[in-house]
Amino acid sequence: MSELLKTVADVRKSGATDIHLSAGEKIFVRRGGVLSIISDHKVTEDEIKKVILATSTPKAREILGKNRQVNYTYEDGVSKERYRVAASFCRGKFALAIRMLPAQPPKMADLGLPDAIRKVLAKQSGLIMVGSPSGQGKTTTIASLLDFINTHYEKHIITVENPVEIKFKDDRSSFLQRGIGLDVPNFFGGLDEAYRLDPDVVMTDSLNYRDALDQAMFLCEAGCLVIGATEGGSCQHLLERVIHWRSAEEHDGFRGKIATHLSMIISQRLVPRADEKGLVAVFDIMVNTQQVKAMIKNDNLSMIKTIQEQDQASGMQTFDRHLQTLVKKNVITSKTAVEYAEDITEMSARFTSGKG
């Protein structure tokens, strides 16, 4: 094992989630969401080449040479620890961004997802969208949803990922996990092929393309439950964004279509824990009840947050409501709640007045 790979293993043990390596630059790691330099050593391009050769397949290196970038996963043969590697070029030289992956899919309860949303996962068809900015935990959340299905239902689950991150072992469900560039050409192609593979559940780690979202809704029409990741803020903002991908002439028709097929949106972000031992997920959740469905069709998205506040029985909640709950449980501080709140003024007043 190269010295640089040993460093990667060591920073993982220290609780780091990511490590960034660029030729001629110092090593940066991210712990608890904060980026820092761990030594004065400047990484050489030869050191990075050795890491790429030790962790990648010939196919991944072929893609890197052709496209100047590639995403792949690596599993240490001894420790069985898994990593996602994004190899690219910086100023004509190799660069790596390596993320530490969990060995096992997490449980929904461990992430703090409400039990009520299990009813959505029992549905035969529908679209579940999981949104967040990059690096805010949506892959982990999706893995917990798939784990719940795997341990509770007899389903054939197909994933389309770039790359395949968390490996699933068949329990009550069977898995077919496919990587972009290695098993399928792109997200649309992967979703298109999934239709022919007898799927019950299809997961894709990107619905950020219009054609991929259209294919996901086609799979819903065909009777599949589709779980897809996308970028986004709150549930309302995510809905507004996918609707406004379309031309103005398409808005009415698309609102009707998304209202019909959407089952749930989970939006999230990560915030610092009060004990300073990492980060905790904060969730904004919208379940597509009949009331929400009518709001989407009638272009009344501004009222969705009110419904999320009122209908907690179905599993709905807002970011700010969840922040308040985490403060009461002493998981985060009131200062953190104010800092990350969508309505900073209201949150600040709540804790200043002692209402929280």
Partnered with residue 71 across adjacent β-strands are 86
* Tens-digit pLDDT profile for residues 181-227: 889 999 999 999 999 999 999 999 999 888 999 999 999 999 999 99
* Number of domains the chain contains: 2
Name the domain boundary from 46, 81, 101.
Answer: 101
Q: Is the pTM of this model over 0.95?
A: no
Residue span of the structural domain in which 252 resides: 108-317
At 179, give phi and psi (nearest 5°). Answer: -100, 140
Q: Domain check: are 87 and 150 in the same one?
A: no
Q: How confident is the model at residue 103 (pLDDT cuts 50, 70, 90)?
A: confident
CB distance 48 to 287 below 8 Å = no
**Average pLDDT of the chain, as a whole number:** 94
- Say what the pLDDT of residue 1 is: 61
Task: State the Cα torsion 315-228-138-166 to the nearest 10°.
Answer: 120
* Tens-digit pLDDT profile for residues 146-190: 999 999 999 999 999 999 999 999 999 999 999 998 899 999 999
Distance CA 154, CA 78 (A): 33
What are the CA-CA distances from residue 324 to residues 283, 310, 356 (Å)?
Answer: 12, 15, 7
For residue 333, tell me if it sits in a domain.
no
Helices 251-261/235-243 angle, 10° precision: 130
Distance CA 163, CA 161 (A): 5
Give yes or no for residue 127 having a pLDDT over 70. Answer: yes
Q: How confident is the model at residue 353 (pLDDT cuts 50, 70, 90)?
A: low
* Tens-digit pLDDT profile for residues 26-50: 999 999 889 999 989 999 999 999 9
Question: What is the domain-level CATH number for residue 60?
Answer: 3.30.450.90
For residue 33, tell me if it sits in a domain.
yes
* Tens-digit pLDDT profile for residues 273-282: 999 888 999 9
The end-to-end CA distance of the chain, in Å, is: 52
Name the domain boundary from 69, 101, 133.
Answer: 101
Question: What is the domain-level CATH number for residue 196?
Answer: 3.40.50.300
Q: Domain check: are 260 and 134 in the same one?
A: yes
For residue 322, tell me if it sits in a domain.
no
For residue 163, tell me if it sits in a domain.
yes
